[in-house]
Amino acid sequence: MSFPAGQPRSNEPQTQPGPRPMSQDVYNALLSRFISSDVEPGSKITIDALARELDVSHTPIREALGRLEMNGLVVRQLNAGYRIASKMTREQFENLVEIRLALEPLAARRAAERADPDELDALNSLANRMMEIDEVDGQAAYAMFAQEDSEFHDRIAAASKNELVRDALARLGVHVRLFRLIHRARILTDALAEHQAILDAVKSADPDAASYHMRRHILRSADRFRESFDAE
């Protein structure tokens, strides 16, 4: 069985070029499935069934589910296994937007002041990968973009050299989960342009512009995702 391609997050162990670990392939396959709006919130996840379907052992399935739990896509219940997470409520969504507006423009400002050449190169490479994903159709591409979007924001936070801000944003588990709310190609296209404006400001060591473009990106992103609540 072939799995969708993907990249590890920046805060996960990086490996030398070579075969991608099976756990990463399994994670990408489950991410693509669980991010789909067709998956019923609260539905039970059967590890045995997933292992048979993907023709893998339980170990990579459990590892992938652990990562997906951190992203807020699945929840683990005592003595009841894993279930698909409930859909984010409007109140939760607005609270997350408020927190992001408080933390991410600051992270972008500090990244513009403190990012080193290696971090800028990594952000450039990531931006190029996201451009390639935007040219691919299908649910797998959408899930891959959600994962790369999460990494982009994490790398900006890492470049800020403020681990408290980075950890706070990571604990929110918001970026990938947001993509369950709505499925529209415009999200990908608009986000790419907004990411590029943030990256250009960081590369230019312009803290004011980096903060401005990050705030603008969060506000515009919120408007796009907010449409899913308005349509209900």
- Judged by DSSP in three states, 58 sits in helix
Burial class (CB in 10 A: 0-12, 13-18, 19+), 25: buried
Beta-carbon neighbour count of residue 124 at 10 Å? 12
pLDDT in tens, 96-125: 999 999 999 999 999 999 999 999 999 999
Residues 103 and 217 both lie in one domain: yes
Q: Please, what is the angle between helix 139-159 and helix 117-134, to 10°? A: 160
What is this structure's pTM?
0.79
**What CATH number does the domain containing 157 carry?**
1.20.120.530
CA distance 122 to 158: 11
Sign of the Cα pseudo-torsion (90, 179, 199, 155, in order): positive
* pLDDT at 11 exceeding the cut of 70: no
Q: Are 11 and 158 in contact, with CB atoms under 8 Å apart? A: yes
Question: Residue 6's pLDDT is what?
Answer: 39
pLDDT at residue number 14: 41
- Which of 66, 84, 102 marks a domain boundary? 84
Give the total number of structural domains in the chain.
2
pLDDT for res 185? 55
Residue 60 pLDDT greater than 80, yes or no: yes
pLDDT in tens, 17-27: 444 567 788 98
Using DSSP, state whether 98 is helix, strand or coil: helix
Q: Could you tell me how many residues make up the chain? A: 232
- pLDDT tens-digit profile of 134-178? 666 667 777 788 888 889 999 999 999 999 999 998 887 666 777
Q: Is the pLDDT of residue 3 over 50?
A: no
| pLDDT, averaged across the chain | 84
- Does 105 share its domain with 153? yes
